[in-house]
Structure 1
Amino acid sequence: MPKLKLSAVLDDKPVRIAIDLPADVHRMLVAYAEAMARETGQPVEPNRLVAPMLARFMATDRAFTKGRRAPSSGPSSTRA
């Protein structure tokens, strides 16, 4: 079985948000948590996977990371 992209869920100071997930996305999240539990031997709450999955997605999105490195030309980047 191939390795999962996520290897651990780190504890960090959380910021609470509320989201509605489509049922099929929730089922996949639950299945991912089950696969991770089998791989690591530790149970994982599916909701704890959302933040690391989003972080991993953003970290590997080349256009996003390139845009973050580029100097901002918006009004907040200039000081009077």
Structure 2
Amino acid sequence: MTKLKLTDLAEDKPVRLTIELPAVIHRHLVAYAAVLGAGQGAISPDKLIAPMIARFMATDRAFLKARRGVQLPPPAG
């Protein structure tokens, strides 16, 4: 089994955003969704974007350090 950084997709009240992605990023999202959904069923690539961004920010040490020095609202989740 492939060890992916994303393991589960939490359900939460979404906020709608419209973004444009380079085609190569979209292809990679489609491939990632296929690997993550193997054996579980199809996963829509758009459902991966928020957890990927959240995972990135949660593991970015410079962001976490800077965030401690600035009064920001706590992260959701």
Structure 1 and Structure 2 fold alike (TM over 0.5): yes
Segments of structure 2 that go 5 or more residues without pairing to the other structure are: 72-77
What is the CA deviation profile of residues 6-62 of structure 1, one whole-angstrom value per residue up to 9, with x for unaligned ones?
Answer: 001111000000000000000000000000011x52321100000000000011001
Letter in 2 for 1:3: K
Structure richer in helix, relative to its length:
1
Please say which structure displays the higher CA radius of gyration: 1
Query: Given the two structures, how large is their TM-score scaled by the length of structure 1?
Result: 0.82
What number of residue pairs does the alignment pair up?
A: 71
How many Å separate the matches in 2 of 1:2 and 1:11?
Answer: 23
How many Å separate the matches in 1 of 2:41 and 2:64?
Answer: 32
How many Å separate the matches in 2 of 1:52 and 1:24?
Answer: 19
* Identity value in percent: 55
Segments of structure 1 that go 5 or more residues without pairing to the other structure are: 73-80
Task: Give the number of the structure with larger relative contact order, counting CA–CA contacts within 8 Å between residues 6 or more apart.
Answer: 2
Letter in 2 for 1:34: A
Query: Given the two structures, how large is their TM-score scaled by the length of structure 2?
Result: 0.85
Is 1:19 aligned to residue 38 of structure 2?
A: no
How many Å separate the matches in 1 of 2:49 and 2:17?
Answer: 11
How many Å separate the matches in 2 of 1:47 and 1:63?
Answer: 27
SS of the equivalent of 1:13 reads coil
How many Å separate the matches in 1 of 2:42 and 2:2?
Answer: 19
